[in-house]
Amino acid sequence: AVEFGRKVAAKHFIRHVLQENLFEDGNHLYRFLEHDPVVSTKCFNFNGTTYDAEPLSASEIEVSLRKFTLAIIDSYVSDDGKRVDYQSISMSEEFRRYVKMTELLHRFDPSTLSQEEKLAFFINLYNIMTIHAIIILGHPTGPLDRRRLFGDF
């Protein structure tokens, strides 16, 4: 039973309530990811259920994220890079598919990526999450709003 629990925890279906260990025998409390109050209330990419299929490989997720990011930037950012059409992005098929793909990130294991792939992945993730935050929370109008945007998202 302990070995099974470790496998389930390693695949990010359950976690220790205080995040102290992966899975151990004894008097420890664990909960399903979808019952974690932080995940269920603060994660914009969590739709209320855990994706239970075998996760895509890190390289497949990295390639998908890069494609979605490039498609959105190519279609909705002005040629000079100074204007972004957030309204059109929010209604686009690319953005819908990106949001669906982000649901897979809770089981994503970046340790299999090379250092260069990790750097590219997290830069792309930061950029697309910034666009996502602006779509959800609105464009910041000043330094305090910008700080709030990145603090809340």
- Secondary structure string (H, E, C) spanning 75-122: HHECCCCCCECHHHHHCCHHHHHHHHHHHHHHHCCHHHCCHHHHHHHH
Query: pLDDT at position 71, please?
Result: 92
Tokens, residue 69: 């990011």
Relative to beta strand 30-32, strand 14-16 is: antiparallel
Q: What is the pLDDT of residue 152?
A: 58
Q: Is pTM, for the whole model, over 0.75?
A: no
Token pair, residue 35, equals 């019952």
Mean pLDDT along residues 27-45: 66
For the chain, the domains span 2-42, 58-152
**What's the pLDDT band for 89 if we cut at 50, 70, 90?**
very high
Single-letter amino acid, residue 80: D
